[in-house]
């Protein structure tokens, strides 16, 4: 197809270094992109430049870590193509690593012995299976945490370690836990194979195994995509590293983007050496460093640079900005955690009232009523005026190192009637959503016993645990006639749902499921809580509308895939898209969850030695752990655009024990001339350091 491009327009708005990266075409390219340096913009313009130079869009692959990032990149690429090209109707393949794995596996399911409708197990599913297996092996779950056993299996698979290799390694060792893991792992894999299901790790492991061991498959995808882009390369594990290397093996046209200073997921298997060794892996690699930050003030960047420069394992990089100097960083020393929470809430009130006064009104005039007394996430509705005023609140984030810290902060926000939302509550992990989707999954893959067990007696059908044991142990013929009728009716219902999936729109299928199964009546009889759960399912129906244009059967398949692969950030994005009013509140989240986000105002709480930087009880802190904690704080600092608030408590109760704390070492690393050590508010006490 003949395409006409505006010659230089696609490079408008790029700085010199961004432009240098964007115009690079052939050969390996490493873009070292600091926080807020416009990496997505650079990748987008590079892709457009490739198309401008005659590369077919379908020959370009871009891989990210979250659906949110993939969606943003896809939309930007489409917008740039529409702006700079006429008549182009194809776009690059943009996906997450796991979605790419699903794509490759589905195209080659027969090679792997899978059916088309294999089930993707989520975290809860895998933990439940591990628990069941441990029961079978008479392993005490109180002594050996099933989640820990599952995490060990996941970690080893992420290193591309196979079961037989792991079992051989621990067989002749004194690693008793390892031997338990090997036994559980063996049964775990057998169970998944039997039920035509895969876990998250399998989505990458099996795809990479195909690429590595099947030459025909490998060559097909190497020829399919001539240009490979990998975002957040510093967060890749061994399997993801192998996947990108195998795909780019043929022509070496691989562009990776990342920042060693933002490597914060080693506990998930992320390997820092992947980005640090890029030049060794690709001898003729071009390196472009993006150091100009467009997000934060000079004071915030100065603090971030001072923090991160103490790390040894990092490339030489120093962020700068042309933004204003900005406000100094506020530091508050609290007596205890409740005092710290009050400080945070009081400061938010100040920001809120300041926002109101800036539009020439007082608080009561703008809102017309007192601040809401219920957290926004639990409130069904509020007025437009309060929504307009609360916009400032959505620009505020409270970050913490550990999830337990949110409780005292939530209590303070409730006390001060400040709307808020806790990031990390996944929409797709709500019971009512999982129940509804389980019916769809079971209809497509009735071999998956996890889904069958979940829904066969929900809503109640009089099928008890004893019946289930007989059913799943092959003793179905020994069941009473009445019970057999109930079971047959259940499976006939699944067949009916499957027929609907193959012939009707997925949004209509979900409506059918909640009515026909009795879920709707069950929830309507459940009072206020039940009504709220039903509202969530209605939101699922709304979400399903965007899959209605897909061919019969494909809508359900894609919805289930996206639901299984959704991250915390993806879930919050979904909520924002579907009901913007409900999310105009202060965001509470761990620092890990804040990665990739930005806010005008950021509170970083709990800056105490042992909490942030974090040290696990009884564990000695390694140099690698110390550096990762410093990188984590660096990420926290660089989420802020205009103002940073830091706080710590001299006393904090953790696991029922009241502790005396020392301030975090990070505080002393920040230049004192950019720290505000006082507070003009007479109602807030500041203890000088």
Q: Which residues contact 174 (CB under 8 A, 6 or more apart)?
A: none
> Residue 663 phi/psi, 5° resolution?
-60, 150
Mean pLDDT of 58-85: 84
> Do residues 263 and 271 lie in contact, with contact meaning Cβ atoms separated by under 8 Å?
no
The pLDDT, as a whole number, for residue 584 is 73
pLDDT tens for residues 249-282? 988 999 999 999 999 988 888 899 999 999 999 9
Percentage of the chain lying above the pLDDT 90 cut: 52
Name the catalytic one among 88, 234, 262, 405.
262
Count CB atoms within 10 A of the CB of residue 382: 18
Give residues with Cβ within 8 angstroms of 357, minimum separation 6: none
Q: What are the contacts of 181-187 at 24+ separation with CB within 8 A?
A: 181/149, 181/152, 181/153, 183/137, 184/130, 184/133, 184/134, 184/137, 184/139, 184/149, 184/153, 185/153, 187/133, 187/136, 187/137
Evaluate if residue 334 carries a pLDDT over 70.
yes
Res 656: pLDDT: 64
CA-angle at 327, arms to 325 and 331, nearest 5°: 130
Mean of pLDDT values over 103-110: 92
643 assigned to active site: no
> Which tops the pLDDT comparison, 620 or 633?
633
**Which DSSP category does 380 fall into?**
S
Nearest Cα residue to 140 out of 164, 166, 176, 108: 176
pLDDT at 623: 77
Please report the pLDDT score of residue 344 as a whole number: 96
Q: Which of 18, 19, 40, 347 is catalytic?
A: 40
- Which pLDDT band holds residue 422 (cuts at 50, 70, 90)? confident
Least confident of 76-85, 234-243, 492-501, 657-666: 76-85
The residues near 501 (Cβ < 8 Å, ≥ 6 apart) are 440, 443, 444, 509, 552, 553, 555, 556
- Comparing CA positions, the residue from 683, 634, 668 lying closest to residue 399 is 634
pLDDT tens, position by position, 543-556 = 888 899 888 778 89
Contact predicate 294/650, CB 8 Å: no
Of the candidates 519, 513, 548, which has an alpha carbon nearest to the alpha carbon of residue 457? 519
Set 80, 202, 232, 629: catalytic member? 232
Contacts for 305 with CB less than 8 Å, ≥ 6 apart: 318, 319
pLDDT (average), residues 459-464: 84
Q: For residue 233, what are the CA distances in angstroms to 216, 237, 239?
A: 27, 9, 12
Is 232 designated active site? Answer: yes
CB-side neighbour CA atoms (13 Å) of 94? 22
Residues 6 or more apart whose Cβ sits within 8 Å of residue 507: 541, 542, 544, 545, 547, 548
- In this structure, what are the phi and psi dihedrals at residue 615, rounded to the nearest 5 degrees? -135, 125
pLDDT band at 82 (very low <50, low <70, confident <90, very high): confident
Strands (E), 210-280: 227-230, 254-258
- Predicted pLDDT at 424: 63
DSSP category for residue 611? B
> pTM of this prediction?
0.80
Residue 274's pLDDT is 93
pLDDT at position 67: 82
List 19, 39, 150, 453, catalytic entry: 39
Instruction: State yes or no: is 231 an active-site residue.
Output: yes
Residue 668 CB burial class (10 angstroms; 0-12, 13-18, ≥19): exposed
Of 122, 125, 156, 231, which one is the catalytic site residue? Answer: 231
Question: What angle in degrees, to the nearest 10, is found between the helix axes of 238-247 and 97-107?
Answer: 60
Greater model confidence, 237 or 69: 237
From the list 232, 223, 273, the residue with the least C-alpha distance to 255 is: 232
**pLDDT > 70: what percent of the chain?**
87
H helices present in 108-214, as ranges: 109-112, 123-136, 146-158, 163-171, 176-194, 200-213
Non-local (6+) Cβ contacts of 164 within 8 A are none
Q: Which of 29-43, 382-396, 615-629 has the lowest mean pLDDT?
A: 382-396
Beta strands 93-96 and 60-64 are parallel
Sign, Cα dihedral of 666, 669, 671, 672:
positive
- CA neighbor of 121 nearest in space, from 437, 411, 432: 437
Integer Cα distance of 275 and 263 in angstroms:
10
Tell me which H or E stretch contains 599.
strand 599-604
**What's the pLDDT band for 75 if we cut at 50, 70, 90?**
confident
């Amino acid at each position: 197809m003949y395409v006409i491009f505006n010659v230089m327009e696609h490079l408008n708005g790029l700085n010199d270094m961004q432009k240098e990266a964007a115009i690079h075409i052939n050969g390996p390219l490493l873009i070292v992109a600091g926080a807020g340096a416009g990496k997505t913009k650079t990748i987008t313009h590079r892709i457009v430049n490739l198309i401008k130079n005659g590369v077919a869009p379908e020959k370009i692959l871009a891989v990210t870590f979250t659906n949110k990032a993939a969606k943003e990149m896809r939309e930007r690429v489409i917008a740039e193509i529409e702006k700079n090209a006429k008549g182009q109707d194809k776009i690059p393949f943009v996906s997450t690593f796991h979605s790419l794995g699903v794509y490759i596996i589905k195209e080659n399911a027969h090679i792997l012995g899978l059916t088309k409708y294999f089930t993707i197990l989520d975290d809860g599913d895998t933990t439940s299976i591990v628990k069941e297996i441990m029961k079978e092996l008479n392993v005490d779950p109180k002594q050996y945490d099933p989640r820990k056993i599952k995490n060990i299996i996941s970690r080893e698979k992420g290193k591309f370690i196979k079961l037989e290799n792991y079992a051989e390694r621990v067989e002749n060792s004194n690693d008793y836990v390892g031997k338990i893991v090997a036994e559980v792992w063996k049964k775990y894999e057998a169970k998944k194979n039997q039920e035509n299901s895969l876990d998250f790790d399998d989505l990458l492991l099996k795809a990479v195994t195909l690429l590595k061991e099947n030459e025909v498959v490998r060559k097909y995808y190497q020829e399919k995509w001539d240009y490979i882009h990998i975002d957040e390369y510093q967060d890749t594990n061994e399997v993801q590293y192998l996947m990108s290397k195998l795909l780019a093996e043929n022509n070496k046209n691989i562009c990776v983007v990342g920042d060693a200073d933002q490597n914060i997921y080693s506990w998930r298997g992320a390997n820092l050496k992947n980005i640090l060794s890029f030049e060794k892996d690709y001898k003729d690699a071009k390196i472009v460093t993006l150091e100009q930050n467009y997000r934060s003030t000079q004071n915030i960047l100065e603090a971030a640079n001072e923090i991160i420069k103490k790390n040894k394992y990092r490339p030489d990089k120093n962020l700068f900005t042309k933004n204003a100097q900005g406000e100094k960083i506020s530091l508050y020393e609290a007596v205890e955690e409740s005092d710290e929470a009050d400080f945070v809430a009081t400061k938010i009130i100040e920001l809120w009232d300041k926002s109101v006064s800036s539009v020439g009104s007082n608080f009561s005039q703008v809102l017309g009523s007192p601040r809401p007394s219920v957290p926004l996430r639990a409130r069904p509705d509020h007025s437009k005026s309060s929504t307009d005023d609360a916009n400032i609140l959505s620009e505020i984030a409270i970050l913490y190192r550990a999830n337990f810290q949110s409780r005292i902060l939530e209590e303070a926000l409730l006390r001060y009637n400040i709307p808020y939302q806790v990031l990390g509550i996944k929409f797709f992990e709500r019971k009512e959503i999982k129940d509804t989707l389980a019916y769809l999954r079971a209809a497509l893959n009735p071999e998956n016993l996890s889904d069958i067990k979940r829904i066969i007696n929900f809503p109640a059908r009089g099928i008890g645990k004893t019946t289930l044991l007989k059913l799943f142990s092959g003793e179905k013929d020994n069941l009473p006639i009445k019970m057999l009728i109930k079971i047959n009716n259940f499976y006939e219902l699944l067949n009916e749902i499957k027929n609907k999936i193959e012939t009707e729109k997925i949004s209509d299928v979900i409506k059918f499921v909640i009515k026909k199964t009795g879920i709707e009546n069950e929830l309507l009889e459940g009072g206020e809580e039940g009504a709220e759960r039903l509202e969530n399912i209605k939101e699922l129906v709304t979400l399903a509308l965007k899959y209605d244009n897909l061919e019969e059967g494909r809508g359900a398949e894609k919805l289930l895939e996206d639901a299984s692969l959704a991250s915390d950030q993806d879930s919050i994005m979904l909520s924002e898209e579907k009901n913007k009013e409900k999310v105009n509140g202060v965001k509470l989240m761990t620092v890990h969850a804040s990665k990739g986000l930005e806010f005008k105002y950021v509170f970083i709480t709990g800056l105490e030695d042992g909490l942030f930087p974090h040290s696990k009880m009884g564990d000695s802190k390694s140099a690698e752990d110390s550096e990762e904690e410093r990188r984590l704080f660096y990420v926290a600092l660089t989420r802020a655009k205009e103002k940073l608030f830091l706080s710590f408590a001299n006393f904090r109760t953790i696991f029922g024990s009241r502790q005396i704390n020392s301030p975090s070492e990070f505080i002393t690393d920040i230049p004192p001339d950019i720290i505000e050590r006082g507070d003009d508010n007479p109602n807030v006490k500041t203890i000088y350091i």
